[in-house]
């Protein structure tokens, strides 16, 4: 992806209290790559409920006001479950780069979920890089992705 394409990319990001510090580090990393970031919260490490930030992020991806999303919570599971309740959202819980690449290549994931309590920030950055630099392959995978949403 060229610098011009990156400047047009808007990334939504959200976390609960467990992912707050990692979210702040990821925002700085992405800003240094010229991505525009929209932060859906939380804004502190104080305890809060992940659905309160997951729903606005999912709505932004659904509406197209952000191109892709990144979501964090302690295990990555709760926020992923909440995000995936939204039609058209394909949130993928990834704890390594290979999963992030496959989530984009095969599943056309539009939100990356990270388990903040189980990975280091340096690995999270590598996972985000892989997610953002991978594209949907289409082909045989398109048929499967089209079957994901309930009618």
The residues annotated with a catalytic role in the active site are 73, 106
73: how many CB neighbours lie within 10 A of its CB? 28
Query: In a 3-state reduction of DSSP, which class is residue 68?
Result: strand
| Residue 1 DSSP symbol | -
Query: In a 3-state reduction of DSSP, which class is residue 39?
Result: strand
Residues linked to residue 13 through DSSP beta bridges, in sequence order = 39, 70
CA distance 143 to 60: 25
N- to C-terminal Cα separation, the chain: 34
């Amino acid at each position: 992806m060229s610098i011009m394409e990156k400047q047009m990319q808007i990334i939504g990001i959200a976390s609960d209290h467990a992912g707050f510090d990692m979210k702040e580090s990821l925002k700085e990393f992405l800003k240094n790559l010229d991505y525009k970031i929209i932060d859906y919260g939380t804004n502190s490490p104080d305890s809060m409920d992940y659905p309160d930030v997951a729903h606005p992020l999912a709505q932004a991806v659904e509406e197209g006001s952000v191109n892709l999303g990144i979501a964090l919570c302690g295990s990555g599971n709760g926020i992923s479950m909440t995000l995936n309740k939204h039609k058209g959202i394909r949130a993928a819980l990834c704890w390594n780069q290979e999963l992030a690449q496959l989530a984009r290549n095969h599943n056309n994931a539009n939100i990356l979920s990270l388990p903040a309590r189980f990975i280091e920030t340096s690995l999270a950055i590598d996972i985000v890089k892989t997610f953002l630099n991978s594209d949907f392959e289409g082909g045989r995978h398109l048929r499967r992705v089209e079957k994901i949403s309930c009618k």
